[in-house]
Amino acid sequence: MWFRPGVLIARRNVASRARRVNIAYPLYVVRDDTQFFAGYRPAGTTFKLASGRRGGPRDHIVLEWDGGYEDHTYPESFLELHRPGDAHSVYEFRRPSGEPDRWYVNLEAPWRRTPIGFDSRDLLLDIVIDADLSGWRWKDEDELASAVAAGTISAEHSNEIREEGLRAIGRLERRESPFGDGWERWQPDTTFAQPISLPTGWQELEPRQEITAESSSTGIGNANDSGRATT
């Protein structure tokens, strides 16, 4: 099952042991095939964040879920890029002008396709990359260290997460996909600017209702058939 360009899907961070969706946000599909996924989220998009008692560095971790969700708004637009099987995805954040502001590697469990989009599990450690790809730095190392200290992530798994990050940096330094694909030149169709919302069933751990044609847009921006960005 592939999602056609222009369809709105749900990207979710799922805590399978805790039996909840932690974060969910809608995303326009730009490309979806056996080799690559690209999605676009316009600025001002509302996302759902599990509510309850929080803790850990900067209170990012839900310690006790109260069964509800808070609405938050993303101030920036971004492209989300993923190669099937990778334990990370790459974000390209945009300025209001449409130019790149920064790139970001989100370390996470490999994606799982659902009838309404893709699920994953955040692995806490991230990487921030300069807009021109000239430099990078680790982000949220303290969150990963806190999880290891609490026993929710093993020291061995922590090392594996960091190794995955270094593999992504290796692709960056060699300008391999997605960093050498020209996605920074991709621009969305104007229909992508309209307010978007999550599809039905976003809060269900095993959603059953499939995405329909009615939840799609006609514009996919200036990507060619291969999904590589064009000028």
Query: Which CATH number is associated with domain 10-183?
Result: 2.40.380.10
Sign of the dihedral defined by the CA atoms of residues 178, 33, 126, 185, in that order: positive
Q: What's the mean per-residue pLDDT of the chain? A: 89
66-95 tens-digit pLDDT: 999 999 999 999 999 999 999 999 999 999
pLDDT of residue 219: 42
Q: Which of 54, 83, 139, 185 is catalytic?
A: 139
- Indicate if 139 belongs to the active site: yes
On whether the pTM is more than 0.85, the answer is: yes
Query: For the chain, which residues make up each domain, given as ranges?
Result: 10-183
Angle at 208 between CA 200 and CA 13, to 5 degrees: 65
DSSP annotation string for 156-176:
HHHHHHHHHHHHHHHHHHTT-
What mean pLDDT is predicted for residues 182-203?
Answer: 89
d(CA 69, CA 121): 18
71, 48 Cβ separation under 8 angstroms: yes
82, 37 Cβ separation under 8 angstroms: yes
pLDDT of residue 212: 60
d(CA 147, CA 149): 5
21-64 tens-digit pLDDT: 999 999 999 999 999 999 999 999 999 999 999 887 777 778 88
Taking residue 85's Cβ as centre, other Cβ atoms within 10 Å add up to 7
